[in-house]
Structure 1
Amino acid sequence: MNKILFVTNRNILTTCGELRLIKNRAEVLYSNWNIGTDFIAIAKKSRINSVHEKMDFPCELRTINASRNSISVFLDIKQNIKEMTAKFEYKAIVVSGLFMEKLIPFINEIAPKCKIIADVHGAAEDVLEVSKEKESFHRYIMKCAYFLEKRILRKYLPKADGIFVVSDALKDYLESLYSVQEIPMYRVPCATTNEIMSPSEFSRNRNYYRNKYNVGDDERLFVYSGGVSPWQCIDETIEIYHLISQKINNTKMLLLSHDVSSIDKTILNEANIIVDSYPSEKIEKVLCAGDFAFLIRKNNLTNKVAFPNKFLEYVKSGMRIIATQNVKDVYCQMKRYNLGIILDIERLDIRELISSIEKMEPSNEYRSVVSEVLRINSFDVQLKKFVCDVIFPEGDDSE
């Protein structure tokens, strides 16, 4: 079996968006091309000792305790890479996360025949967005981390043999800042499966969850699914829903989040806002209940180059999406395939929004649109160039 080694300080142990991308990508590499992935995960001791989300394919997972001196951690990472590369002949080693590109020269030295792929999920400026909610000392530390990360990317990213990016906008961003124009970039967004439910399964799920939440046939159900971090704009989303509910009768909102305890308790008392939580594997079924889904993001660099996990989940559910123009790839696909409504939250025209909602009726033709959007973003399609370039460069039979 051809194998990849994945070295990361991202969270690949417990449920979150970055685990979803990394895990699903590895699962498709295994199921479609028989390419295995082993992992070296650098994480806090508390996360290492917690219950891990299971990988649904055979792999070796080594964990390194990050709750120690940074020099000791880095030496431990190098030792584990050395041991793993001596044990297996990997076709590629993927480095993913803050400062991980610094490992590229070391990997080149101990495994010169192995391709090195940098896995980039977003802009380095992400850390600055997160720091805005922190106290002054933590803001200072995170700002230092930002400048160090930029320096490492500038020095080491051009030494990679390839780069995973989640969006075309992220590719443009990296090319504009670093000397990576000649390095192959593989756009691999966080995709769901590209098979849509049969009409009977969809109807069964839709009826079940609408009955569960007492949503009538004549009611429109608006859905928000995700976390409650400021960048996910949950407060703005709820405010927009309130404006909609004042103008349109018979509406409800379903708010799905793992962070239910963090949601303002006054919302829980509103009769037409339902708050609930599900494991990730059940969300696909629950979303069938909805008619419109919210994907609101503010205008900043972090959002511009992102590709939110929820976008394709919303598409697959058949809901029309209410989104802002601030996530470039999502905006382009929504315009191209007429997937919903684009808002300007800085200058919200509520009358125009209401008019757009009223005009959007269910359509049998929309099913074929959903299939095409899922196909063009699927791991099956987006990983193929990486597999041909890196795993089977000699044209071996990869199927």
Structure 2
Amino acid sequence: MKSERDFPALVAPGPALREEQAARAARQLTLPGFDDTAQRRLAAARVLVIGAGGLGSASVPYLVGAGVGTIGIVDDDVVELSNLHRQVTHTTANIGLAKTTSLAQAATALDPNVEIIEHNLRLDSSNALEIFANYDLVIDGSDNFPTRYLTNDAAQLTGIPLIWGSILQHHGQVSVAWHEHGPGYRDLFPVPPAPGTVPDCAAGGVLPGLCGTVGSLLATEAMKLIAGIGTPLVGKVLIYDALAANTRTLEFSRDPQGTEVTELIDYVLFCSGSLPEAQSISAQALAELLAGTDAPVLLDVRNDDERAQQHIAGSLHLPLPELEAAIESGAALDQIPEQVTVYCARGPRSQRAASLLAGRGITTNYLEGGLPALAEVAPQLLAEPAPTEGARS
């Protein structure tokens, strides 16, 4: 097992504690391995909590009580009566109120000095990176797969540690995805489950106290990362069975075959299972086809700047956002032939493009590993700089 020194403290210590801050933290300042410097790190920390439901409403009060200085809360829902059996930070009086506001009120009632930033919105690919950039750490307590994959990818792209938790019925899971030091959510769950195979809390139910147990674990992992104490759940997932009163920890590692995350995508579509599965072609197989007499038509879905640096000679060009817009609007794709091989920098964009095109009846596959993979086996096929030929002409 790694020692606590293997993971650096995430946040630099802030200024000297005020008398009230020291008094509030008196019972944790006496903990072995925890000192004034650790408390100052907590006071300087900025933590983003995704979801103000069962897990968020349980973890935020403990973050406030621990002395975390700034907490952002993301949610676009309102408090409902059916929430209250497990989301006990919300109250009957706050039914109909935005969950971010309800949770912010509870937080400031606990400590008026904490800075609470309400993000009363739905997190998506258009805003995640901008929001994440303002925080040191993210806690994902969301209740849906699109958000879980989104938070993992946004955390990886911004370099921010992610603590995620999930609950269903009487089971809970907690893990830390700090991509600089270990695997992430995609390494444990490379693809989302098929729609309808995993019930949500409304359909499957949830044991009320499970929210408090898992939510407090999320807050504890955050304290450990911020202050640099203990060993965080990096490369491990803690599984809790409330009915059996049993916990176990499973170790996992990076998936060597995992797709590299280079950008955010449409995660609702990614998790919906509504697109045909894209077929891949290896760089070696594509190079052999291109050397033959019946070479496939190639489509580059990277952006203009990427293409200007390097591209496959003779390939068409249509950036993925433009392809998505055309398909969403129902526009004709006359510029795309009936059979095409799609490529990008690493694979994710071309895989999505191939699925979109297959959904429109076009026979397609995508280059596995992207342009670097082809460069390794057939560098002579690459041209630079890019000419202006393309699917948009």
TM-score, reference length from structure 2: 0.30
TM-score, reference length from structure 1: 0.30
Bigger Rg, which one: 2
